Amino acid sequence: MKTILTTAYAINPYKGSEDGMGWNHILQIAKTSKVIAITRKNNLEMIHKYVEEHQLKDLNVSFHGYDLPYWMRFWKRGQSGSTPYFYLWQFFMPLFILWKGFRFDVAHNLNFHTDWIPTFLWVFRKPVVWGPVGHHPKIPSGYYHYKNSTLTVRLKNQVIWAIKKLFWTFDPFFYLAKWNADVILCFSPEVSKQMNVKESKVEYMYSVGSEEVPFEEKKKDKFRILSVGRLVPLKGFDITVRSFHAFLNKLATEDKNKVELVIVGKGEMYQKLTDYVKSNELDNHIKVIDWMDREELKEYYKSSSLFFFPSHEGAGMVVPEAFSFGVPTLCFDNCGPGTFVNPSCGVKIPYSNYNNSIAGFATELETLFNNPELTKQLGKGARKEFTEKFVWSIKSKRFKSIYNRITSEKLSKNLFISSIITNPQDN
């Protein structure tokens, strides 16, 4: 059994998103390998609590906490400063590994999923897997609505993208990481293009996944449209409410009571969304809920006809989650949620301009509302897509295959080099 050293900055079995993905990826790796998992110290309490609560005594993982000294991180406050701290955390990681004396067969830089901050695990000259990695693409400039995006938000988007380009282009450690990694797991072809990685090193893997859930077809009382996520400009919730509003205006009076939009999430856009709902007297048709527990959210998924997610992000974990409940998705045709959706499990529209997109989404909502059989078929396709691509357990075999291949290739390469050195006359 191989020993895989993984570095996972964010792990929390009680959370979703990045933390939940870190936890679930490690569980899948541990099914076939021994795992040394290095994470931040503040994650250990929740990890040990979860392991104890769920009696995971036979979990094939040893967790180790590592952080920089306080004088090197005093400036970090929550999410503020997390990206530069992650760079430093990675940079000094080899010293921690040497100090602990870990022995391993493969090094896997698992998360954050940032594709412009390099891994430094290649210094050990062991087989290296980097990823899954990706990035949020730049929000198209025409998709900042003046009532929902301040100048600060727009500048932030431009600055962040410029920083990414700077690191992709000029960071020498980024180039060293690319050259020395054996496999780079990318979210999509857009990621490998921006990283400018050799195709021979690239494998495509979604970072997202979801737990298996019992599936039952449930009769829908109304055409409920669900949208879940952080209420930030990146997620496009302003487009969600405006598209739904335009769709609602197309309906006959008797049909308006048959539709509902439910948005679940917290974030800076919460007040603006609720203000829009009130000012347009949409309270009977749109609910913006800032929190609900997991079990209640599951019931909302089960009772929904469509998941509407016009996000500009580079991933979108909530899409596979919707698929798991047999709910099709409506989104943009982009390198994020758009990569998950195909004609069998949802609908996506291309970028054009802000108003055209709202009109386009409204038209698609109308089409699906008027064609319940089509919506039902897309729901079946969504469930099929989930079971074939997004169940966490699928990744276990994938990781095992990658580890076996690169260790075999590294061994063959080392034996070849050794033979040249030992018997140069035979070569």
pLDDT digits (tens, 9 = 90+) for 358-408: 999 999 999 999 999 999 999 999 999 999 988 888 889 999 999 999 999
Residue 150 binned pLDDT confidence (cut-offs 50, 70, 90): low
Within 10 angstroms of residue 156's Cβ, the number of other Cβ atoms is 13
Which pLDDT score, from 0 to 100, does residue 149 have?
A: 53
Span 284-307, average pLDDT: 92
Say how far apart CA 385 and CA 377 lie, in whole Å. 12
Span 194-201, average pLDDT: 92
Which pLDDT score, from 0 to 100, does residue 277 have?
A: 95
Q: Which residue has the higher pLDDT, 135 or 259?
A: 259
Reply yes or no on whether the pLDDT at 148 is more than 50. Answer: no
Strand partners for 77: 80
pLDDT (tens digit per residue) in 66-84: 999 888 877 777 667 788 8
Q: Does domain 3-209+392-421 have CATH number 2.170.16.10?
A: no
Residue 414 binned pLDDT confidence (cut-offs 50, 70, 90): low
Reply yes or no on whether the pLDDT at 263 is more than 70. Answer: yes
Same fold for the pair 3-209+392-421 and 223-389: yes
**Where do the structural domains in the chain lie, given as residue ranges?**
3-209+392-421, 223-389
Residue 151 binned pLDDT confidence (cut-offs 50, 70, 90): low
Mean pLDDT is lowest, of 136-150, 210-224, 339-353, for 136-150
Q: How far is CA 172 from CA 117, 161, 183, in A?
A: 11, 19, 19
Q: Where are the alpha helices (DSSP H) in 212-317?
A: 237-250, 253-256, 270-279, 294-302
Q: Side-chain half-sphere of 152: how many Cα atoms within 13 Å?
A: 1
Span 345-362, average pLDDT: 95
Say how far apart CA 270 and CA 21 lie, in whole Å. 26
Span 197-226, average pLDDT: 84
The CATH H-level superfamily of 223-389 is Glycogen Phosphorylase B; (3.40.50.2000)
What average pLDDT is seen over the chain?
A: 89
Q: Are the beta carbons of 116 and 87 closer than 8 angstroms?
A: no
Q: Are the beta carbons of 192 and 181 closer than 8 angstroms?
A: no
Reply yes or no on whether the pLDDT at 422 is more than 80. Answer: no
Which pLDDT score, from 0 to 100, does residue 418 have?
A: 55
Reply yes or no on whether the pLDDT at 250 is more than 90. Answer: yes
Residue 425 binned pLDDT confidence (cut-offs 50, 70, 90): low
Which pLDDT score, from 0 to 100, does residue 212 have?
A: 76
Mean pLDDT is lowest, of 244-248, 276-280, 326-330, 412-416, for 412-416
Q: Which residue has the higher pLDDT, 113 or 281?
A: 281
Span 221-234, average pLDDT: 92
Which pLDDT score, from 0 to 100, does residue 427 have?
A: 54
Of the chain, the percentage scoring pLDDT greater than 70 comes to 94
Q: Are the beta carbons of 192 and 200 closer than 8 angstroms?
A: no
* Cβ partners under 8 Å of residue 122, min gap 6: 107, 128, 176, 177, 180, 181
Torsion of CA 385, 386, 391, 397, to 10 degrees: 0
First to last CA, the chain: 34
Say how far apart CA 189 and CA 96 lie, in whole Å. 34
Reply yes or no on whether the pLDDT at 92 is more than 70. Answer: yes
Span 175-201, average pLDDT: 93
